[in-house]
Structure 1
């Protein structure tokens, strides 16, 4: 059975990857409003996670990344696995904390950024040895390097 909301999220994400950022943001925001702040946790974490990527300013992205983390905290493996049998909520956290670390770094809140990088590293064992896992690990390294340099610029990978 197809989850219509997940299908709509994927369509919006595709628009964003095609450079249609404004339309993707509008579509995801409309989905967020229809799901609601107490709606399906998988829908909320997915919408917020991808919506954060569509904002240039770190403060805007941070708002959505915090919402994604909050939604993940109420997501169960059972719900995630109804979408895909291999999903584990624990596997969401390295990426979620990495994104928060990057936002805080860009805002100059280096100590908070380091705490989120630590949280991401504490959970990297939940990642598979695949392209996604390698991407998250590379992201952690990139943000760590930028932090060490005191760099608040947007990184090309984020």
Structure 2
């Protein structure tokens, strides 16, 4: 990778980080505006890691659970290999649609689709460890979204896929890896009807 390419990638992550600062400060509308603008600039050919990170935070910035689901699906599909055959679409009610995506919503290449039709889990686009380590939290996000939308079966599918992918997580004390493992346990309790769960169950990933 050339120095120019590295600088360009750093600039993208810096812009995502600036929007995330606004989001955490409570300016959700401005954060959405900045992330949407960058999403359009990246386009469908943008780096998968950039699109995944951006879509993850755009999901956090949504007020409607259906919109949150649509963006979390984009985050996962950004780092999944395309598949032949028909693809399922996310649930009804996804409001904000980025210009680079079809009007009816993003494709769900996670295998089960928003309709819970069954199928194989997401296929990683590349063996990059920086991408693979995101899979557990991406599936956790989707599990939480489906639970918010009162679709527990789809939530369980993604929770199981988060568990299956958790082997790549680092053992890092109070860091990201063990935070995701704790979040898995919380969401499992929530799905089982036990106290102590939460609907956005994993630690934030800062760009």
TM-score norm. by structure 2 comes to 0.66
CA distance in 1, matches of 2:185, 2:198: 15
Distance 1:109 1:70, change over 3 A: same
TM-score norm. by structure 1 comes to 0.84
Matched residue, 1:76: 126
Query: Could you tell which deviates more after superposition, 123-132 or 93-102?
Result: 123-132
Matched residue, 1:82: none
Q: How many residues align?
A: 149
Matched residue, 2:153: 111
Superimposed CA distance per residue, residues 7-39 of structure 1 (whole angstroms, 9 cap, x where no aligned partner)? 111111111112221111111111111111232
Give the helix-richer structure, 1 or 2.
Answer: 1
The alignment status of 1:141 with 2:141, answered yes or no, reads no
Which runs of structure 1 show a deviation greater than 2 angstroms over 4 or more consecutive aligned residues? 74-78, 153-158
Provide the alpha-carbon RMSD of the alignment: 2.2
* Residue among 92, 108, 111 paired with 2:134: 92
The 5-angstrom pairing of residues 33-48 of structure 1 reads 33-48=40-55
What is the Cα deviation at residue 88 of structure 1?
2.8
CA distance in 2, matches of 1:154, 1:91: 22
Unaligned 5+ residue runs, structure 1?
79-86
The 5-angstrom pairing of residues 2-41 of structure 1 reads 2=7, 3=9, 4-41=11-48
CA distance in 2, matches of 1:55, 1:133: 25
Larger radius of gyration between Structure 1 and Structure 2: 2
